[in-house]
Chains A and B, each alone.
Chain A
Amino acid sequence: MSSQPIIEARNVDKFYGNFHALKDVSISVHHGERVVVCGPSGSGKSTLIRCFNALENHSSGTLVVDGIEVFEGSKDVRKLRQEVGMVFQQFNLFPHLTVLENLMIGPMKVRKVSREQAEETARKYLDRVHIPEQAEKYPAQLSGGQQQRVAIARSLCMETRIMLFDEPTSALDPEMINEVLDVMVELAETGMTMVVVTHEMGFARKVADTMVFMEEGRIVEVAPPEQFFTAPSSERCRMFLAQILEH
């Protein structure tokens, strides 16, 4: 881990109208670090990582991602997004394109890579997520787990340096969760910088370098997993863990 953080948020606030979604949030993520963010719904986890690739604009504070300062109206937003991949809860694959085209359109149109090269990259990453045989199908023909793996491959095809996951398994049937988590564990093993919003604590234990607990727009606890799961310092965090670990 280098000392220079790849994501650095300082005193970030975010308002939706009168609603205070993020309250004075400061966090830094280092190169190659895997951060898992958890917390009850409405605690601002998704808002936080959506700020990281400027899908939401924070209201005040400073946010620097991969050396680019993020602010509303910044001209560097597209450059930033090419380095930061995002995987959504609802997959958001492009339904009018085949799996292969879903993977190729970013590199071809944004990075201006040739069709041949884009296809080669696409097939490489489809292999990586274990569904090379689905290349010619349309998203609607795939299961949820397969769709989410395509979505991960789509982000990987952009050769991003950071991957953000916004509750990637929450919309999946239980039997499909593991196939997606397995892919994410493998990705973590390649040394990718990852920020994952999830309630999958098994996954968190396995890959996280740092656990973050959020509540009501605040970061309540930041700790390495051993400490986080065995001796969380805040009462609220202890209760939350007790609730979700019971199942």
Chain B
Amino acid sequence: MRSFINRMRWPDYLIVAMLIAFFGYIWFTIEGTLNYKWRWELIPGYIIGYHTGREAYFANILLQGLAATIRISIYASILAVILGTILGVARCSQNLTIRMLARTYLELLRNIPPVVVVFIFFFFLSQQLIDALDLARWSRNIARQEDIWLWELFFGDMRRFPSIISGVIVLALFESAFVGEIVRAGIQSIPRGQREAARSIGMSRIQELRYIVLPQAMKRVVPPLANQFISLIKDSSIISLISVQELTYKTVELVASSRMIFEAWITTAAFYFLVCFGLSRLFSRLERKREGQA
């Protein structure tokens, strides 16, 4: 930080001064015309609330939302990696039909807005699946039982289980297309000689893929997959549209009930930023460490 200040020259100071003036002006306008009353002091209570009756702290809606977002992101990315690997392998298949099917899926997802994709997946797929499996009744039964802390650790409020599952499915289907492209690039980055060597000792195409190509490809795609995981966390805000109770949805609720538009959204933005930026720093550090070893 100090070295940064030392490196500032007069144009830098000028730019900073102009920015301060600009935002000061905007601030002044909002204060003057909007007549907005800031109530920052209420925000911590919506993160961790205090129950006066039970005399205990509890995770209030914003923290609940964050927890749900993290859970959904983890499950969805596991599912997306599985589906994406299948898709990536299909994209490199010898069989034209399989290759075209995978390509079609990818191009559809690439060229339809995410919000539309999410609605289509939700109504056409995950809802039908949940109805067919009767997940709603199953999870309600669990919710009625006692001592379900393990369930709640993994899935939060069990009454909301079907909505979380559909969120996970929708998100995973959506992201799998991009994971598939990453995996395909990984597979194609393996030199031809590796495949030829595998074939020349008599391996079938499946063995060649399983023992030689995929292990090497997956190692190479870890860094781009990590970045895709961060994108997935950000994209997860879209599923608030299908009433999955994650961070964005909870913020909408909070804004509707408390009218703290700016405070709530800034807090939510900070949550997303902290999680994503933190992860991105962590991943790049891990990668540097890995490169150091190699």
Residues of A with Cβ closer than 8 Å to B? 53, 55, 78-79, 81-82, 84-86, 88, 90, 92-96, 105-106, 109-111, 151, 154-155, 158
Contact = CB atoms under 8 A, between A and B. Distances in A.
Interface string B191-213: 10110111111111001000110
A86 B196 CA distance: 9
Interface residues of B, number: 18
B215 interface: yes
B51 interface: no
A105 B198 CA distance: 10
Contacts, number: 59
Contacts of B200: 53, 55, 81, 84-86, 155
B193 A109 contact: no
Contact of B197 (A84, A94, A96, A109): A94
Given A92-B193, A92-B194, A94-B194, A55 B219 contact: no
Given A96-B215, A96-B216, A109 B203 contact: yes
Contacts of B202: 78-79, 81-82, 106, 110-111, 158
Contact of B203 (A96, A106, A154): A106
A95 to B, nearest CB: 7
By secondary structure, the B interface counts as: helix
B194 A55 contact: no
B195 to A, nearest CB: 9
Nearest to A81: B202
Nearest to A109: B207
Interface in B161-203: 191, 193-194, 196-203
What are the 4 closest A-B residue pairs judged by CB atoms, nearest first?
A92-B197, A106-B201, A86-B200, A92-B193
A95 B201 contact: no
A92 B201 CA distance: 12
Nearest to A80: B202
12 contacts: A55-B200, A78-B204, A86-B196, A88-B193, A88-B197, A92-B193, A94-B212, A105-B201, A105-B211, A106-B201, A106-B203, A109-B211
A88 B196 contact: yes
Contact of B201 (A90, A96, A110): A110
B201 A55 contact: no
Given A79-B202, A92-B197, A110-B203, 16 more contacts: A53-B200, A55-B199, A78-B204, A81-B200, A81-B202, A86-B200, A88-B196, A88-B197, A90-B193, A92-B193, A105-B201, A110-B201, A110-B202, A154-B197, A155-B201, A158-B202
